């Protein structure tokens, strides 16, 4: 029965994510809000809520903040792999797309956060201010800077996708907003439920403390990002898809700050597990490679050069799983 519930919830998450991506695309085309803000802030906040719930439950109720850090870092690496695969599969659309400049800035901010986390891992930034790690404070400051940049970025627009992928609607702007809010609530609720059901299945199969268990939960919490990104790319809006990924990764680091703020008597920066250290390393590498993709996209003539950093991101994810 629990497996049928999982499949039903997974189907609900997929369908609601597709609907959310459609309404986000319509908001991008029918409002003055920048695509960077819509994808990097609005959609990423909705799709990242499963990670928020999982991390807070690990920190507050289970008193195991190490799970929170692993969940966030694992989700970030998986998210980068999603967009790398999409770039390889839809290289032409990506090459022709208008990507907001702030996405590169957000990637830079994320690299800086990874460096701060790595310095904490190396016992350089491992002191606290009023029970909150200095690393978490740096994360908060960088997150605010990233969101401010995305909010004020007017560059980038709906991508030049294929004509059959274009979406037309008779809905008013108010109807689009209301439906996006309703779909978002449904997506968040379904994502929360599938996270709990996945945890139950992992426990039944004795996968909870293993890499297999972590991957199972990580895929469940990243399902909204995966589905919404695929849907956005198919309808020709690579800009919002990229914004969803880089924005989600930035939002996920904010979750670490929240977890650290709520966890009294310890730190969420637990690097006793080598897999967590590997997640920091490969996450940093994949973010730098994604930044490279965004920087060279409009400067190169041979589109296949984009394969090199994209494949590097996928290899980083595969190396994490086998190392």
Answer yes or no: is pLDDT of 25 > 70: yes
Residue spans per domain, the chain: 35-166+224-322
Percent of the chain with pLDDT over 90: 37
Among 169-178, 198-207, 215-224, 274-283, the range of highest mean pLDDT:
274-283
Q: What is the pLDDT of residues 274-288, one digit of tens each?
A: 888 999 999 999 999
pLDDT value of position 42 = 79
Q: Which CATH architecture has domain 35-166+224-322?
A: Up-down Bundle (1.20)
Answer yes or no: is pLDDT of 209 > 60: no
What average pLDDT does the chain have? 84
Distance between CA atoms of residues 108 and 178, nearest Å: 34
Q: What is the pLDDT of residues 48-84, one digit of tens each?
A: 777 787 777 767 776 777 677 887 898 899 999 999 9
Distance between CA atoms of residues 141 and 277, nearest Å: 23
Q: What is the pLDDT of residues 136-181, one digit of tens each?
A: 999 999 999 988 887 766 665 554 444 444 556 678 888 988 998 9
């Amino acid at each position: 029965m629990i497996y049928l519930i999982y499949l039903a919830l997974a189907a609900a998450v997929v369908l609601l994510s597709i609907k959310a991506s459609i309404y986000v695309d319509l908001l991008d085309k029918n409002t003055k809000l920048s695509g960077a803000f819509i994808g990097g802030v609005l959609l990423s906040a909705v799709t990242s809520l499963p990670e928020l719930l999982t991390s807070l439950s690990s920190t507050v109720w289970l008193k195991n903040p190490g799970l929170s850090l692993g969940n966030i870092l694992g989700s970030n690496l998986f998210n980068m792999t999603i967009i790398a695969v999409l770039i390889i599969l839809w290289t032409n659309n990506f090459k022709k797309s208008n990507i907001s400049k702030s996405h590169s800035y957000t990637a830079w901010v994320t690299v800086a956060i990874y460096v701060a986390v790595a310095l904490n891992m190396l016992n350089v930034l491992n002191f606290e201010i009023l029970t909150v790690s200095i690393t978490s404070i740096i994360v908060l400051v960088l997150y605010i800077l990233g969101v401010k940049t995305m909010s004020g970025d007017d560059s980038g627009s709906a991508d030049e996708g294929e004509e059959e992928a274009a979406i037309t609607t008779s809905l008013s702007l108010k109807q689009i907003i209301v439906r996006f809010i309703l779909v978002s609530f449904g997506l968040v609720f379904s994502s929360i439920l599938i996270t709990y059901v996945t945890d139950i299945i992992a426990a039944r199969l004795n996968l909870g403390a293993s890499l297999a268990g972590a991957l199972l939960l990580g895929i469940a919490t990243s399902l909204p990002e995966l589905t919404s990104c695929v849907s956005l790319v198919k309808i020709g809006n690579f800009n919002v898809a990229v914004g969803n990924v880089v924005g989600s990764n930035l939002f996920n680091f904010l979750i670490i700050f929240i977890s650290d703020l709520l966890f009294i008597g310890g730190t969420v920066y637990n690097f006793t597990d080598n897999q967590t250290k590997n997640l920091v390393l490969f996450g940093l590498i994949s973010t730098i490679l994604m930044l490279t993709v965004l920087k060279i996209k409009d400067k190169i003539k041979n589109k296949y050069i984009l394969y090199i950093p994209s494949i590097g991101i996928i290899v980083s994810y595969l190396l994490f799983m086998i190392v």
